[in-house]
Structure 1
Amino acid sequence: MRDVQRAKVYAAEEFVRTLFDRAAQHGTGSIDFFGTALTLPPEARFGSVESVRRYVEDVLAMPAVRDRWPGVGVPAVRARRGLTAAHYERSGDRGTAAGTIAVPDRHTTWALRELVVLHEIAHHLADGGAPHGPAFVGTMAELAGWVMGPEAGHVLRVVYAKEGVTG
């Protein structure tokens, strides 16, 4: 399927990452979100591919995730040579552990953050349709809300809508 929402999803998520960066810089987590004061949860940062691997395992072991996607396997996590992108490699149906999450681990830290890793986990969980289609978008917002907190899920949903992303 054609991935018609890709650019919009990336733009929305880049904006959300910027909001989290600004909240962290202020030290309070508080931001002005379209005229409303909102306190964002802290975003996890990772120091290694191994810590990303443990995080992925922990997220997929959460009761809410297991209930929503029963029997989903844990993807492999590996270092990626390129510096410009993280990605998910699907290699079988989502019920297997055959997928792989690849994150850059050298000379960059942008991908070693919670929102990027959740994006790749959402690819593992979203079944069918375009890679950044409605199933993916709903999964990403749902995951962020369960894992990071309802404020993170809310911010993603609002910014997706503002960017014209359907989900």
Structure 2
Amino acid sequence: MTTRPRDSGRARLYEAERLVHHMFDRAASNRTVQIAGTELTLPVEAHFGSVASVRDYVDRVLAMPSVRARFRRAARPVRVRERRGHRSAEYLRSGDADPQIAIPSSADGRWALRELVVLHEIAHHLDDSSGPAHGREFAVGLTDLVGLVLGPEAGFVYRVVFGDSGVV
């Protein structure tokens, strides 16, 4: 297994994602937001009740024809399992055997049972670049995935926020 380069952009990407998550949280009642001089309507973000529902969602996303056309690794299944603790969700790529998405489901870990977090972990699975785990190629792939799954408005939000934050 080859090691990836140092993941020096991780903190910047996470901070940009927090901004996007905050936009979606604030738009819960009124879906209309203004960003980069453009008024748009954000899609409704799914929130999951269990790791089993996340597992079903991941399978459906990977089966989407548009996702399969854009990402070569979409044909590879990924196992979704519960993770102990509550501080992080994670993607585990142990070589090419048994890739896994681990999602916390404890009361304190329910923050991870949201669509944008799950899409982030799916994007790790789909990233076949040799760059840093949260590098430019990952960020572009995540933006594309969000656009394909949630729609062009959500993809636009990611492009603008990631661009303004220096992620891409």
* Equivalent position of 2:9 in the other structure: 5
Tell me how far 1:33 sits from its aligned partner: 2.0
So what's the TM-score if we normalise by structure 1?
A: 0.92
Q: Give the residue type in structure 2 aligned to 1:83.
A: H
Query: How many angstroms apart in 2 are the aligned matches of 1:148 and 1:121?
Result: 14
Name stretches of at least 5 consecutive residues in structure 1 with no aligned partner.
Answer: none
The CA RMSD measured in Å over matched residues stands at 1.3
Please identify runs of 4+ aligned residues in structure 1 that moved more than 6 A: none
Tell me how far 1:34 sits from its aligned partner: 4.0
Match of 2:90 among 87, 91, 116: 87
So what's the TM-score if we normalise by structure 2?
A: 0.91
Name stretches of at least 5 consecutive residues in structure 2 with no aligned partner.
Answer: none
Query: How many angstroms apart in 1 are the aligned matches of 2:15 and 2:72?
Result: 31
Query: How many angstroms apart in 2 are the aligned matches of 1:33 and 1:5?
Result: 23
* Equivalent position of 1:150 in the other structure: 152
* Equivalent position of 2:78 in the other structure: 75
Tell me how far 1:65 sits from its aligned partner: 1.3
* Equivalent position of 1:18 in the other structure: 22
| Percent identity for Structure 1 against Structure 2 | 54
Q: Please show how residues 96-115 of structure 1 align to structure 2 within 5 Å.
A: 98-107=98-107, 108-115=109-116
Aligned residue-pair number: 161
The answer to whether 1:55 aligns with 2:81 is no
Tell whether the 8 Å contact from 1:56 to 1:74 is kept in structure 2 after alignment.
no
Q: Give the residue type in structure 2 aligned to 1:77.
A: V
Tell me how far 1:82 sits from its aligned partner: 1.5
Q: Give the residue type in structure 2 aligned to 1:48.
A: S
Query: How many angstroms apart in 2 are the aligned matches of 1:144 and 1:114?
Result: 10
